[in-house]
Each structure stands twice: as C-alpha cells, then as structure tokens.
Amino acid sequence: MLHPSRLLRLTPLPRALSAMAAPPAGGSGQCFAVEGPGSDLVCFTLSASGRPEPRCFVPAPGRCYSLCVPAAPSVPMARLHRRLQQRLRQGPFEGCRVLGLLCYGAQAALEKGFLIQDPRGGPETERALEELLRGLGELPPPLLGVYEAGERGELWQCLWALRGAGGRELLRRARVVAAEEPPLHPAVPGLSHAAVFHSLEAARSVVEQCTSFIPEATAVLDLVDKCPKQSKKGEFPVIVIEGLDATGKTTVTQSVNDSLNALLLRSPPACISQWRKTFDDEPTLIRRAFYALGNYIVASEIAKASTESPVVVDRYWHSTAAYAIATEISGKVQNLPPAHHEVYQWPEDLLKPDLVLLLTVSPEERIRRLQGRGLEKTEEETELEANNLFPQKVEESYKRMENPRCQEVDASPSREEVLRTVLYLIKKHCGSL
C-alpha cells in the first residue's frame, strides 16, 4: 500500500485563470471536470496556443491517464463504464488513484469516465490500460488520454486511438489549461435522459435493452404491460412516506397505516422485489429504470386500492428521483440542479399521491440508527454512511421536488409524537378520514 504522502493530489486550479471558462480558440472544444474526493470540481480544457498554465496535477515522475465513454441512455455504454470502473480497482491499478471524469462542451455530448493518477510514472500502468481496452470485446475501445508534464511545468494531453495488431495512433496533442466550473454541474443536462425517468416509455426502453443478459428483465416488462396505461386514483386519499434510510420511515408507515385502517403498499412492489439484488448490481442507468418501472406497477396497485380504502405507500417516485440525482451529481450540495428545474417535476403519466411526507433526523442520529440495524447494506446505504455530502444531496433533492412537493416532518421525537404530527398533516391536507 502506498504511503499517503506518495499519493497524487488534485490541486484546485487558480481563480486567476477564470477567463478560460470557455474552450480557447484553436482548442478541441472540450472541457473536463474531475470529480475529486472533495467538494469542488477541478475543471480544465485544452489549448493549441500558449496560455497561462494551471498548477500541474501530475507532478514528476507521476503520470495521469483518462478514459471516457458516451453518457447517453445507452445500455452498452453504461455497462462498459461499469466494467471499466470495476477493472480499474483491481490488479495493476491498485496503486493508482482513480477519480471520476466528465467530458463536456457546447457542441459535444456528455461523456463519463475516469482519471487515473499513477504515482510511479513507469510504463506498466499504460501497458495495463492498453491491455484492458483491447480486451473489451466487440465494443470500440475508448480513446486513451495520456497526461505528461512538460519541462517548464506545463501539462499536455496526448489522445491515442488503439489500432489492430497492437498499434495505436496519436489523434491529438494539446496543452491542458484551467477552466472555471460551469454555471451548472456538467451532468445536470443529461439527468432527465439517463437518470431520472419522466415517462413509462423512457424507463421501459432501457429495461427492454437488458432482456438478452438479464432474464428477469422480461418478467418485469411482462408485469408492466399488464398494468393500465394511465392509472387513475380512487376516491380515498393516497399518502406517501419518504426519507433516508434509518429515519424511522418503516415504523411510521406501519403506524400511520394502522391508524387509518389503510392498505400499505411499497415501492418497489413485492412482485418485483425479489429481483432488486440483480438490478442493484447493474449500472445506475439500468438500476434507475428498474425502480422507475416499479413505480408504475405500484401506481396500478394504488389505483385499485384507493377505490376501497386510504392507501399508505412506503416510498414512490420522489425516492427514485432523489437518489438518482444525488448519485449523478458529484461534489457539494450547491452542484444540484437549481430549484424548479425540470428534473424535480412529477411525471405526467404517473398516478399522483394526495400527500408526500418527508421524514428527517439529524445526520448523527441517522448514522446511530444505521449502525444499530446490522443489516446487509446496499451500495447507496454504504455511500450514505461514508460520505456526509451524499445524504445532504438526497435530502435537498427531496425538498426541491414539486407537484407534489414533500411536507417535511422531524422524526427525531418519540414515535408517538411523530405519529401525532403525521396524522395532523394528513387531516390538514386530506380532510377527515
């Protein structure tokens, strides 16, 4: 294991270079954002001409490499990104630091990838990367970016395309210069296409692409196709309970259900919950589509049940969307899409509840409860515990949801007091039950 002092660090680029926010004339038109472990993005672009240099993030003798794939809602590209992510954690890359990388530009589609920092600077990592790319199978391998420090401290990117018989071709050599963070996080424009699904058809098209390698995908689609195209709510109220894990959501949901003599439903519904583990192990694009379809199946159950009694739902669309947004948007809470952005709007083709309650507790209390559960954690639950920025982004995303918005409830007091507050809000918004 490398001593911490030998790990390469990404240094925030100087504010004096803020004039370079746009791609410089003669450059590639691309900008890059490195998603470091801190709360700030490190942004840079490429230039064909001499300009003031940023501080180099590849100190000698180290080197950096980059790989990117298109971030469009394409299942093959999503799986390729996931495969690269898994391989870069193993074998010859264990001594490297792997950071998320976004490639974007005014005329270019978003790409997602990785910046690999190698503190050794020898040829082994580059050879291992070439071997990894050549072994990807039928898909065209991503281009390989190699970053090298010049004699005067400047930084260069060489972009290579791998060719047959072990050869490669240099496509571009350009100087790396600083850029300001864009007004919106680079991933924001693509959220509504590849992370937060606003229609049944958008989610269905993704899961449809998975039937050849996920047998359960066919079963999910069959269940979706048996649902009414546009589920209509009955005369009884529908109340959704949302919140981070360990906020008391399950307990409150059950208590409210008993108090109202209601029918309790959960999302994802029981008919597809058996396949959660299968889809949780897939890239986020596929995972989100699965949970989105689960919401539409639940909607058909809500429509039927709400003709006979009140309905209480343990999580629904807001949960699916909030976790997707927080996962895709790296860094600080301020990187989230602004309030009233389209990504926070309820899907027009999804049955809408009468009331959505968001349970909240302090971060310290939530961690204490999580540690006491002793249950196997999902990837996102692990992220919630390890990264205090992630739960902040999930909760803030919840609070920005609209039509319907979330009514916040402090779930820190006793169970009885929380239940009284929740029942008061239900009576206030849904009338006498």
Residue extents of the structural domains in the chain: 4-183, 190-430
The pLDDT of 294-305, averaged and rounded, is 97
Contact 58, 149 (CB under 8 A): yes
The pLDDT of 231-257, averaged and rounded, is 92
CB atoms within 10 A of CB 157: 21
CB atoms within 10 A of CB 374: 6
Confidence of residue 1 (pLDDT cuts 50, 70, 90): very low
- Tokens 């972009």 — which residue? 159
Q: At what angle do helices 379-386 and 317-328 cross, to 10 degrees?
A: 60
Of 90-94, 101-105, 275-279, 384-388, minimum mean pLDDT range: 384-388
> What CATH number does domain 190-430 carry, 3.40.50.300, 2.60.120.10, 3.40.630.30, 1.10.287.130?
3.40.50.300
The whole model's pTM is what?
0.86
Rounded CA-CA distance 233/300 in Å is: 9
Distance of CA 287 to the CA centre of its chain: 10
The predicted pLDDT at position 365 comes to 79
Of 17-21, 52-56, 287-291, minimum mean pLDDT range: 17-21
Task: Write out pLDDT tens, residues 341-380.
Answer: 999 999 999 999 999 999 998 888 777 777 766 555 555 5
CB atoms within 10 A of CB 389: 16
285: closest CA among 70, 79, 69, 35? 79
Confidence of residue 6 (pLDDT cuts 50, 70, 90): very low
The predicted pLDDT at position 38 comes to 62
Task: Write out pLDDT tens, residues 308-352.
Answer: 999 999 999 999 999 999 999 988 899 999 999 999 999 999 999
Phi–psi pair at 146, nearest 5 degrees = -120, 125
Q: What is the largest CA-CA distance in the chain?
A: 76
Mean pLDDT of all residues belonging to the chain? 85
Q: Does position 92 have pLDDT exceeding 50, yes or no?
A: yes
- Sheet of strand 355-360, all strands in order from the earlier edge strand to the far edge: 263-266, 311-314, 238-243, 355-360, 406-410
Between 151 and 191, name the one with better pLDDT: 191
Percent with pLDDT over 90 in the chain: 60
Confidence of residue 37 (pLDDT cuts 50, 70, 90): low
Contact 246, 373 (CB under 8 A): yes
Contact 191, 328 (CB under 8 A): yes
The pLDDT of 71-92, averaged and rounded, is 92
Task: Write out pLDDT tens, residues 394-403.
Answer: 999 999 999 9
The predicted pLDDT at position 77 comes to 93
The predicted pLDDT at position 4 comes to 30
Rounded CA-CA distance 309/237 in Å is: 8
> Which residues 6+ apart lie within 8 Å of 40 measured at CB?
12, 181, 331, 332
The predicted pLDDT at position 382 comes to 58
